[in-house]
Structure 1
Amino acid sequence: MPSEWNSGTIIAGTIGYSSIIDQLAKEGKIDVSVINGTWEAYTSTIASDPMPGVTQALVVAGSDRRGTIYGLYSISEQIGVSPWYWFADSLPQKHDAIYASDVTVVQTSPSVKYRGFFLNDEAPALTGYIDAKYSRGEYGPGYGADFYHSVFELLLRLRANYLWPAQWDSMFNVDDPRNQALADEYGIVMGTSHTEPMMRATKEWGVFGHGPWQWNTNNESIYPFFVEGAERSKPYEGIITMGMRGYGDTALTADNEIAVLENVVAAQTEILARIWGNDSVQNPDIVPQVWCLYNEVQGYYEDGMTVPDWITLLWADDNWGNNRRLPLQNETGRSGGAGVYYHFDSVGAPRAYKWINTIQLQKTWEQMHLAYERQARRIWIVNVGDLKPLELPISHFFDLAYNISLWDKNSVPKWLELWAAREFGQDVAQSTAQLMTNYSMAAGRRKYEVVDPSIYSVLNYNEAESVLQQWKEMQTSAKAIMDSLPVEAQASFFEMIYHPVAAGYVFHDIMISTAKNRLYAQQGRTVANSVAKHVQNQFLEDRKLTEQYNGQLNGKWNHMMDQPHIGYEYWQQPMRQALPALQYIMPSERSLVGDMAVSIQGSNASVPGDDKWHTLSSNTLTMSPFDPYGVGYQWIDVYSVGTNDVDWNITSNASFVHISTTSGRLTRDGAADSRLWVTFDWDACPEGSGFVLLKISSAQNNASQYLSQTQHGTQYPMPQLLLPFTHTRVPESFQNGFVESSGYISIELEHYSETTNNSDVHYEILPGVSRTLSGITLFPVTADSQTTGTGPQLSYKLFTFSNSTPGSVVNITIVTTSSLNIDPARPLRYAIQLDEQDVKTVQHVVDQPKGAKPVGWAQAVVDHAWKSTTKFSYSGAGEHSLKLWALEPGVVFNTAWIDLGGIQPSYLGPPESYRIA
């Protein structure tokens, strides 16, 4: 034995297959009793004198081959090698020396038995990359062993074990004869997607099949096709997809789909029994089989389709990260168990989303925790599209699947920090984690593909400006972090962090600035053309970021960012990127109202003059009411609409109104347009209600065209603004509640005044599971249905100022996450009560027959929320109470909007109202 083996020796082997490991266990130098005979477990320990000539060694013993691999890759990760060292260019951390702690590690079996991903929707990006890097095969792109060996290693380093290979234009077992054998050599369990039965790729039928893909009319051709797939897979570890869908990921068409599918599975079972033996085919540990209840197939199962007990029921989400069904109590004893097919990428209605990461990690935890607790633990497989843009959520998904007990509802920030430390170093771990926590919510609240110029309001609640400012701050932070890294580490950070953040900022800037351009053009603002130019420049910046990504590291990932993402017109991707329509004004033409106009927050109208929002040549706009409990400020825009420079001045008839700027000079190019901020000094403001008058005057730079206070422009009077105000106070006795302003109350529902729990069921806050803050839901998620009499209750104190008249009503909208019914007999419901009025029960998710999505599903998933409105009688100003009950686990409350007539259109709703502690 060489003497140098005494320093840093690692011995690794599998129990029952390594004579060294078996001998060490027999001699009592390592203890394998806990893991022996289990699935994918390992132990590591320091052993003394493990073999002749070695005084001490780190010994890794696996219960099976993957257990041993995971033990070794765990050491690799601890010394600084990321699973993404190839696919995301994460640099291994260098050390002068590496030490093993004298601690015995026992890693038991993973939480989920089979953990994998599906390379899907892989064109144009991944396939473009493949075409550029690998030779095309006889039948299509070069998805061969030269590519897949890196995929197999990545899976193992992520502690996964299962793969559905790319299949749009590929045949895993045909494109490269090395593929399947190499997968088995790595220890990867192979499968095929939900629409590819019996280990045959869809394209194989198109190339080698005969006749239509219709079992009831062409089973004589399909049966041997199935036989060949099963026989080809027998020497290798795999999970066989059962059942049958229509060709190319479509629904089966037949007079009696259930009967046809049951005949299909009977024939498939016959084939497997002939190849493996009848006893083996009914043992899921010997011949694992899965039937994915995707889309319409779920409906067949709900309508009584029989599935043999040994076949794993793979429940599919809705393509948007919402579990549609999970095991019922009477289904948990099936020998085949259950699993989940989840999506980080999708092609289909209501909109394909394929570009970059839009996954809210907190929601992934919530949905997969729900699946695990409901006993869907045998298979978790996630659609990852092109793979590359989704490194972060993929890592999170597999860490949950491997050991979900490590990660609770509060774990995402800590998980992100650990992940960032591994990828980029401890110095930037915390800042990167905070950045991606913010990104997770900002990108997850609405996917890029369903954001257009109309989504975020440029008029109300400063919504669009706030959203864009958040994106800008994230981009600035990402740039600062990247610049702080060594040059050689910046490529990885660019790929996984900076690009999605910067591209997300540019994308939102394009959409929000387009909305501003359209508004400004309709108002005649000269600056509309400059904003249009800015949009065009950002469109080019988007392209620059794409080219920068594709050109990273001398084009290593060329084409990986080729996915079009601007210009969606319907559910499918645009074939070529196109800007949303922009509008232009004639810069050499002077407006009929002169050279200056004024607009206010919350209104499209401008003064002086006419427009479709403001007719009859009125010179007055009325701002939203001011009161001590509102946001505290509103804006006024003063801007150029003409061909001359012009001085302006604004005056108020009330000393308690403050205006950020009271005079200025507009330039003909619009570059000096001003946004003024109006605030009230409530200490100086008189009690009661009233109006403040603001007058805006202007004078042309040309002395011969002086515009007096009474004649603005060519024919319109000077603009003026009315500021209604109400100076009232809530009584000191009102505590721990929310106060009305501007005709509404908005509540983040985690901010309850009081909660009533019981000994078995209680509410817990889910940080970040929301579009704006957090969610609140029942725990445990396996609890029984609740009632308003005995179930946990959330209470909120409210104080309103609005008066009532006979028949007055208040509309209360409850915003919940986009979760779906996972038990058809227990649909998601909540109960709501205002004051002592009758309690009303709301079922906000209403299923439809035959596997169709729930009523209103398409809107809910793009909005990332269900919004349900209930009417109550309104008794008038004063103190009120709002009570909520989640009647089923899985209802995740986000926000409540109590509308007394003042809520204005927006995407996220009004910001949270003033809260008195």
Structure 2
Amino acid sequence: MIKGFLLILLITGGIVKAQTLPVNEDAPWPSYMLHQAVAKSFRIAAAGKAAPIYVDPDDWKGVLRAADDLSDDVRKVTGTSSPVFKDKNFAGEAILVGTIGKSHIIDRLIAEKKIDISAIKDKWESYLIQTVDGQLVIAGSDKRGTIFGIYDVSEKIGVSPWYWWADAPVKKSTALYVKAGRYVQSSPKVKYRGIFINDESPSMSGWARAKFGGINSKMYVHMFELLLRLKANFLWPAMWGNAFNEDDPMSPVLADEYGIVMGTSHHEPMMRSQKEYTNRKNEIGPWDYTTNAENLKKFWYNGLERNKNFDNLITVGMRGDGDVAMGKGDDEANIKTLRKVIADQQDIIQKVYGKKTEKIPQAWAIFTEVQRYYDAGLTVPDDVTLLFCDNNWGYIRRTGPDKEKKRKGGLGLYYHIDMNGGPWNDRWINSTTIPKLHEQLNLAYQTGINTEWIINVGDLKPKELPIDFIMHYAWNPDAIPADKTWDYTVNWAGKIFGKEHAKEIADIISKYTKYNLWRKPEVQDPQIFSFVNYNEADREFKLWNDLAAKAEALEKKIPADAKDAYYELVLYPAKASAGVAQIYLDAGRNNLYAQQGRVSANDYAQQARDLFEIDKQLSNRYNDSIAGGKWKNMMSDVHLGYKQWSMPRENSLPPLVDVTPLAQPTLGVAVEGSTDAWPGAEKKAELPQFNALDKKRHYIDVFNRGTGAVEFTAKTNKPWIKLSMLNGSVEKEQRIYVDIDWQAAPAGNVEGNIEITQGDTKIPLLVNTLKKAAPVAKLPYYGGYAGEFSIPAEQFVANIPGKYAKWIVLPDLGRAEACMGIYPVTAPSTTPEKAPRLEYQIFLPNTGSAKVCLGVLPTQDVNPTRGLRIAVAIDGQAPQILDARKGFHDEFKEYTSASLAMSPGLKPLPPLGNNYALVSRRKPRRDEVFDNLRWLDVNLEVKTPGMHKLKIFMIDPEVVLENIIVNPNDKYPSYFGATPIKHKANVTPGGLKIPENK
């Protein structure tokens, strides 16, 4: 584990002493705040008095404004504001704020050798906070360095960066002190860190119109402040029918004054928004560089001239009008055109700025079809940042190529936690987990993508948590290793809601995002999860139900000043997400039960309708009541009833079926493992096999197809078949559990029968049991005498490091408890002989072929020079190498332009060829992107029955292992696969077998 370190110089009696103290692991910025005086500490506020703030009036406007914010933050916390003096002279115990070379105050302290700025001088966005001669100094290396230092103090005294955007309560205190010492904050590891407001209609646009009269400077100043408080520095503004520079000319002015670097999105070059073009389309002509270059160059020149005095990161390149692929020609023709476009844009930049382009920050977004152009050899000048992208759903498409590592302009990343378009929308709620963000952003950072990170955040709300994490992580990725993502989440919750409930809140927000990642709301479907196998739908419904109940119960314990924040950040996303998932589960059960003729199908239809009304109420509360109506319209995205990628006109329920009961009480029977019902089905009813190793119980559903109550009896023909009930009266349905008395059951494969009777109606059910002695096992193992079994990736019995890398646990990543990934992710590809490997103890009762399915995260083709390979072997056999790229589906090859991706007839991506989860499960909308999992299949030869070692070898470092399924049984299809059952070792240390059934 890598730890950051902070140099603190303690000044005692005029002698400087150096100490090294560890930085908090859950955040890059250490704590130095006290609530009571200690020796030589500086008093910010106490006893109704607050220290004054001095700032040079000639310092940056953003610094002056942030100083005023600090004054008001002291008031928010203590009730007494710190008076601000915009004066070059200072006296007494005061807070001295300023920028090196811009502040007479700071320069004077430097000249008098009161402060040593050698650690931050000429550095990017660095600052120091130091107590000296009874004063507190906040000195920045540049404008934003000073502003970040100011806001660092604000956060430490108790004002969350989310105090406005999430109504996070201010932590009240009667006394605020700073420890004596010198706190140096080095430069961020990622230079440009920011967000892209996108897909902002209907939610943000409706909210901004209601609150500010539009998406204008009155709104943006709140966003600028949030970014700075998060120590971010960059923004792509809203562009759906919005023109940042022209809708309100004060927006760019204030952005620059605040200290925000502005850019434009991946398809809006040269500081010109798409709307600025569409407003002038008749004047400019077509957005076609092959026929209209001169007019487009003039358009770009004028836009750049307008913004040249502001702090910009200029997007270069060109895509088609409206976020589509450019031109009517083939890729070769488009590449030729793009070369001309970029050369001419460079010429314009040089003319406007009157300096070499290498001095002007620029970025070229390698987005969708542009990836193909880059792969085909299209290059841009060395001073331009290459902005690589993800697959629209949070998996990066390239790691930093070796050939670009020395590029002057560096490498950047455009990443989505919100998506409107192909392969499908992902807009409404947060469905991005912190562990997933960590895994993907670490992969980017470690491979040199560290110049710019721009994150598509949609409406900003309700993506507060991932935004906060990404901006913290971008400052110093080493401060938050994979095994500390939970600590970060607890810390985040604690800062907003206090330590008392921090772990409970972290648990709720971690789970709702994780569960959403199983199936994002927009791609839910009533048939995704199995209602008859492995209790899958029941388990998922309960998990969501328990989560919503926990969030509701905790709300009662939250203090009044934090209830608005709790609703926005915790209760609404958890309960509303649960409601959507449960609507689709209820609809699926209704559809199945209606097919079986159950009158209870109507109850599930009504339950879905009730949840639909609750969903409306939850959104209405968010929009109309929370924070006194502050967020009116903000939760307006349609999120139920998607039938294609694009947002429906309104929320709608999935298809529901109402059953008309028969006139008389009529028996129906269904069994676990089958969607059929009896009487009526052609084949005989049969329960899944019972076996003595797993000792699972199975169930029978007795239900009514008519009015009144069904009087039934249940009996068995074998005394060792045990039923949870033998008779009853059923108005709707009753579940009977079937167990086996394994002490009394005969050995071997034995059949028995159960008979369910109503009057003259008799329904026989077959029971099949398998009783064999438990295999001798020195280690815990998975597997059994029959059927499919699954192994969580982290449940290995051995983890053997390789020559250059090792497997590590990535907690809470993926669908279950953890995944296994490679450290370091920059390790070289290798052969099985030199590779790190994982070993799993498995029991295979038969010789012959065993099918093994590896569930890996859907990592993209990040390094096309080699592959995405992993190897599998059993015992000492030669490893078989699997390449995840074989059959790999790149949605950007399918959706070659956004015009295709935005077409109403867009279909989900086709499944991979030989794919266990996608083919054998035969569910709608199945795809590795939607499932967040890719399956790799291999057949292994089992030469002897018994215990075996299944070995998994790293070949390429980016492959992340989540799950292993052995001998998939297509008779019992499901989304997750068989529930893992880990068998205990049954050999004592002395080598004696433990008696069976003990």
Q: TM-score, normalised by structure 1?
A: 0.91
- The CA distance in 2 between the partners of 1:11 and 1:658, in whole Å, is 80
1:829 aligns with 2:869: yes
Structure-2 residue corresponding to 1:812: 852
2:316 is matched with 242
Q: Are 2:972 and 1:883 aligned?
A: no
SS at match of 2:450: coil
Corresponding residue number in structure 2 for 1:65: 143
Aligned-residue offset at 1:640 = 1.2
User: SS at the partner of 1:606?
Assistant: coil
Letter in 1 for 2:893: A
Partner in structure 2 of residue 128 of structure 1: 206
What secondary structure sits across from 1:509 in the alignment? helix
Candidates 767, 791, 798, aligned match of 1:747? 791
Tell me the secondary structure at the aligned position of residue 713 of structure 2: strand
2:696 corresponds to 1:632: yes
Give the Cα–Cα distance (whole angstroms) in 1 for the partners of residues 789 and 573 of structure 2. Answer: 35
**Contact persistence 2:716–2:752 (CA under 8 A):** yes
Question: Which residues in structure 2 correspond to 1:295-306 (within 5 Å)?
Answer: 295-306=368-379
Call closer, same or farther: CA 1:189–1:832 in 2, change over 3 Å. same
Match 2:307 to one of 220, 233, 237: 233
- 1:697-744, Cα deviation, whole Å (9 max, x unpaired): 23xxxxxxxx2xxx21xxxxx112222111112332452321225412
Q: 3-state DSSP class of the match of 1:28?
A: coil
In the alignment, is residue 544 of structure 1 matched against residue 605 of structure 2? no
- Does structure 2 retain, via aligned residues, the 8 Å contact 1:299–1:850? no
- Confirm or deny: 8 A CA contact 1:630 1:742 kept in the other structure: no
Instruction: Give the SS at the match of 1:115.
Output: strand
* Cα separation, 1, equivalents of 2:736 and 2:100: 75
1:416 is the counterpart of 2:489 = yes
Structure 1 distance, partners of 2:777, 2:651, is: 59
Per-residue CA deviations over 1:546-581 (Å, capped at 9, x if unaligned) read 111111233211111111111111111111111111
Aligned to 1:52: none
Q: 1:912 maps to which residue? A: 980
Shift of 1:859: 1.6
Which of 638, 648, 655 is residue 564 of structure 1 equivalent to? 638
Of 690, 696, 700, which aligns to 2:756?
Answer: 696
8 Å CA contact 2:789–2:967 kept in 1: the answer is yes
SS at the partner of 1:379? strand
1:135-146 paired onto structure 2 within 5 Å: 135=213, 142-146=214-218
Measure, in 2, the Cα distance between the counterparts of 1:756 and 1:410. Answer: 19
**What pairs with 1:166-181 in structure 2 (closer than 5 Å)?**
166-181=238-253
Distance 1:900 1:183 in 2: 57
Deviates more, 1:833-842 or 1:37-46: 833-842
* Partner Cα distance (2:792, 2:755) in 1: 38
Which of 80, 87, 100 is the matching residue for 1:15? 100
Tell me the secondary structure at the aligned position of residue 384 of structure 1.
Answer: strand
In 2, the alpha carbon distance for the partners of 1:531 and 1:793 equals: 47
Query: Does 1:274 pair with 2:342?
Result: no
Deviations 1:745-777 (A, max 9, x none): 211121122232124211111112211221112
Structure 2 partner of 1:138:
none
Q: What are the superposed Cα offsets for residues 114-159 of structure 1, whole Å, 9 maximum, x if unpaired?
A: 0000000111111111222233xxxxxx221100000000100111
- Using the TM superposition, name which of 738-747 and 254-263 deviates more: 738-747
Aligned to 1:650: 714
| In 2: Cα distance, 1:900 partner to 1:15 partner | 66
- Corresponding residue for 1:603? 674
Residues 823 and 69 (structure 1), Cα distance of their counterparts in 2 relative to 1, 3 Å cut: same
Closer, same or farther: CA 767–3 of 1 in aligned 2, 3 Å: closer
Query: 2: CA distance between counterparts of 1:158 and 1:311?
Result: 26
Instruction: Check whether the contact 2:802–2:837 (CA below 8 A) recurs between aligned residues.
Output: no
Q: Look up the SS of the partner of 2:483 in the other structure.
A: coil
What is the CA-CA distance between 1:29 and the residue it aligns to?
A: 2.4
Q: Distance in 2 between matches of 1:465 and 1:258?
A: 53
Amino acid of the structure 1 residue aligned with 2:318? M
In structure 2, the CA distance between the partners of 1:220 and 1:651, relative to structure 1 (3 Å rule), is: same
> Does the 8 Å CA contact 1:903/1:910 hold for their aligned counterparts?
no
Letter in 2 for 1:561: M
Cα contact 2:662–2:705 (8 A) shared by 1: no
State the AA in 2 paired with 1:223. Answer: K
Mapped pair 1:311 → 2:389: no
- Does the CA contact (< 8 Å) of 2:51 and 2:95 recur in 1? no
Native 8 Å contact 2:804 2:828 kept in 1: no
Instruction: Please list every run of 5 or more consecutive structure 1 residues that lacks an aligned counterpart in the other structure.
Output: 49-55, 136-141, 699-706, 713-717
Structure-2 residue corresponding to 1:701: none
| Distance in 2, Cα, partners of 1:762 & 1:888 | 12
Measure, in 2, the Cα distance between the counterparts of 1:271 and 1:7. 53
Cα pair 2:169 2:562 within 8 Å, conserved: yes
Identity among equivalent positions (%) equals 36
User: Which shows bigger deviation, 361-370 or 846-855?
Assistant: 846-855
Paired residues for 1:788-803 under 5 Å:
788-801=832-845, 803=846
Is contact 2:754-2:764 (8 Å) kept? yes
CA contact (8 A) 2:713 2:757 kept: yes
Shift of 1:879: 2.4
CA distance in 2, matches of 1:886, 1:527: 50
Residue 8 of structure 1: how far off its partner (Å) = 7.0
Q: What's the counterpart of residue 554 of structure 1?
A: 628
Q: Is the 8 A contact 2:598 2:704 kept in 1?
A: yes
Distance in 2 between the 1:742 and 1:903 partners? 13
Give the Cα–Cα distance (whole angstroms) in 1 for the partners of residues 961 and 113 of structure 2.
55
Query: What is aligned with 1:702?
Result: none
- CA offsets per residue over residues 16-46 of structure 1, 9 Å max, x none? 1111112222323222210111000111121
Check 1:182–1:602 CA distance in 2 against 1; reply closer, same or farther (3 A cut). same
Encode CA deviations 1:228-263: one digit per residue, 9 max, x unaligned: 111111101010000000001001114301110010
- Cα distance in 1, alignment partners of residues 950 and 960 from structure 2: 17
Of 804, 829, 834, which aligns to 1:760? 804
CA 1:856/1:275 → structure 2, altered by over 3 Å: closer, same or farther? Answer: farther
Q: Which residue of 1 aligns with 2:922?
A: none
- Secondary structure of the equivalent of 1:359? coil
Separation in 1 of the partners of 2:94 and 2:836? 57
Q: Is the alpha carbon distance of 1:848 and 1:417 closer, same or farther for their aligned partners in structure 2, counting shifts above 3 Å?
A: closer
1:488 corresponding residue in structure 2:
561
The whole-number CA distance in structure 2 between the counterparts of 1:69 and 1:337 is: 25
1:866 Cα offset (Å): 0.7
Query: 2:967 — aligned with what?
Result: 899
Q: Relative to structure 2, which stretch is displaced further, 654-663 or 468-477?
A: 654-663
> Shift of the alpha carbon at 1:659?
2.7
Corresponding letter in the other structure for 1:155: L
Q: Deviations over 1:66-95 (max 9, x none)?
A: 111111111111111111111111111111
Deviations 1:384-437 (A, max 9, x none): 001111001111111101121210011111001110011111111111112222
Is the Cα contact below 8 Å between 1:300 and 1:850 reproduced in 2?
Answer: no
Contact 2:803 2:834 (C-alpha < 8 Å) held by counterparts: no
State the AA in 2 paired with 1:727: K
- 8 Å Cα contact 2:244/2:273 also seen in 1: yes
Amino acid in structure 2 at the alignment position of 1:912: P
- Structure-1 separation of matches of 2:878 and 2:826: 29
Does the CA contact (< 8 Å) of 1:629 and 1:739 recur in 2? no
Q: CA deviation at 1:875?
A: 4.5
TM-score, structure 2 normalization: 0.84
Is the deviation greater in 307-316 or in 252-261?
Answer: 252-261
After TM superposition, give the deviation of residue 479 of structure 1 in Å: 1.2
